[in-house]
Amino acid sequence: MKVLSITGKRKCALIEKPEPVIKGEFVKVKIVVAPMCTEYKDYQEGKKSESLGHEAAGEVVEVARDGKVKEGDRVVVMPGYPCGTCELCKSGDYIYCEHYVDPLKVCGSQTGTATFAQYCIKQDWLLLRIPDNMSYEHASMACCGLGPAFGAAKRVKVNPGDTVVVTGLGPVGLGVVIIFAKLGASVIGIDSVSYRCKLALKLGARAIINPHDPDALKKIKDITGKNGADISIECSGVPSAREFCINATRRRGQIAFIGWGGHLKVDNIAQKGFTIYGIWHWPLNYAEEFMKLISELSSEIDMLITHRFPMSKAKEAFELQIKGECGKILLDPWR
Ligand SMILES: [Zn+2]
Ligand SMILES: [Zn+2]
CATH of the domain at 203: 3.40.50.720
Q: How many independent structural domains does the chain possess?
A: 2
Cα(113) to centroid of ligand 2, in Å? 14
Question: Closest-lying ligand to the alpha carbon of 37?
Answer: 2
Question: Closest-lying ligand to the alpha carbon of 171?
Answer: 2
**170-187 CB burial, b ≥16 within 10 A, e <16:** bbbbbbbbbbbbbeebbb
Which pLDDT value is given to residue 120?
98
What parts of the chain have a pLDDT lower than 50? none
Which pLDDT value is given to residue 275?
96
Please report, for the domain that includes residue 129, its CATH number: 3.90.180.10
Say whether both 49 and 153 belong to one domain.
Answer: no
Burial of 71 (0-12, 13-18, 19+ CB in 10 A): exposed
**55-64 CB burial, b ≥16 within 10 A, e <16:** bbbbbbebbb
Q: Which domain holds residue 103?
A: 2-144+282-332
Which pLDDT value is given to residue 250?
96
Question: Closest-lying ligand to the alpha carbon of 141?
Answer: 2
**pTM: predicted TM-score of the whole model, two decimal places:** 0.96
Cα(269) to centroid of ligand 2, in Å? 31
Distant-in-sequence, close-in-space partners of 142: CB < 8 Å, separation ≥ 6: 76, 78, 128, 290, 291, 294
d(Cα 120, Cα 28) in Å, to the nearest integer?
6
Domain end residue (candidates: 234, 257, 278): 278
Which pLDDT value is given to residue 261?
77
Say whether both 128 and 242 belong to one domain.
Answer: no
Say whether both 255 and 290 belong to one domain.
Answer: no
Say whether both 186 and 96 belong to one domain.
Answer: no
Say whether both 37 and 120 belong to one domain.
Answer: yes
End-to-end CA distance of the chain: 12
Which pLDDT value is given to residue 221?
94
Say whether both 242 and 308 belong to one domain.
Answer: no
Domain end residue (candidates: 263, 278, 293): 278
Say whether both 192 and 242 belong to one domain.
Answer: yes
Say whether both 316 and 235 belong to one domain.
Answer: no
Say whether both 194 and 100 belong to one domain.
Answer: no
What is the SS3 assignment for 259? coil
Say whether both 217 and 294 belong to one domain.
Answer: no
Say whether both 114 and 151 belong to one domain.
Answer: no
- Count H helices, E strands: the chain? 13, 15
Burial of 36 (0-12, 13-18, 19+ CB in 10 A): buried
Which pLDDT value is given to residue 264?
82
Which pLDDT value is given to residue 262?
73
Burial of 119 (0-12, 13-18, 19+ CB in 10 A): buried
Say whether both 83 and 168 belong to one domain.
Answer: no
Amino acid at 77: V
Cα(148) to centroid of ligand 2, in Å? 9
Q: How far is CA 222 from CA 133, 187, 214, 254, in A?
A: 44, 14, 14, 19
